[in-house]
Amino acid sequence: MSLTVIAFVIFAVGAIATAILMITRSNAIPAALCLIAHFFCLSGLYLTLQAAFLATLQILVYAGAIMVLVVFVIMLLNLHSEAPSTQYPRFRMLAGILITGILALELTGLAIHHGTGLNELPAVASIVGSAHELGRVLYTDYLFPFEAVSLLLLAAIVGAVVLAKRTLED
């Protein structure tokens, strides 16, 4: 196995572990910290796919700017941890473990039976991850979704401020 494959496996396992840790945290701040760690693992995955610019953007935009906004909104809303649900806690845990095990077995069987089909990256991989190609695709083919996401983020921030202001006035 090459060093790239080993690094990919390490970052993939790290991404899965931090994602699981993120969704199992009952407090919002530790969940946000796990999400930041997840973004760093995704950045490492981009690096193994020869997309250095995307890896840099992942760190700067998501782990930097977006997570600052998320933590700001969490602090602004003053979220408290909720009491754990007492309705069928063992059934939920067993169902989650069972579904995860079945999915892992299916994915392992699929990878063993069919293989991945790709032993090395194609030559165009470095072109696809470049700043020029990303900018061209983002501002030509995907301009409307890009603008729609920016408006969605703006609406979420305005909504959080309105909710926080209403809570402070009460």
Give the pLDDT confidence score for residue 118 in this predicted structure.
61
Q: What percent of the chain stands above pLDDT 90?
A: 22
| Structure-block tokens of residue 3 | 């060093």
Highest-confidence range of 26-35, 73-82, 123-132, by mean pLDDT?
26-35
d(CA 149, CA 36): 20
Asked if 45 contacts 11 with a C-beta cutoff of 8 angstroms, the reply is: yes
Average pLDDT score over the chain: 82
Identify which has the larger pLDDT, 87 or 53. 53
d(CA 129, CA 51): 4
φ, ψ for residue 145, nearest 5 deg: -60, -35
- pTM of the predicted model, to two decimals? 0.62
Q: Is CATH 1.10.287.810 what the domain over 3-80+87-129 is classified as, yes or no?
A: no
What residues does each domain of the chain span? 3-80+87-129
Give the pLDDT confidence score for residue 12 in this predicted structure.
94
Give the pLDDT confidence score for residue 43 in this predicted structure.
94
Give the pLDDT confidence score for residue 42 in this predicted structure.
94
pLDDT tens-digit series, residues 99-120? 989 998 988 888 787 766 666 6
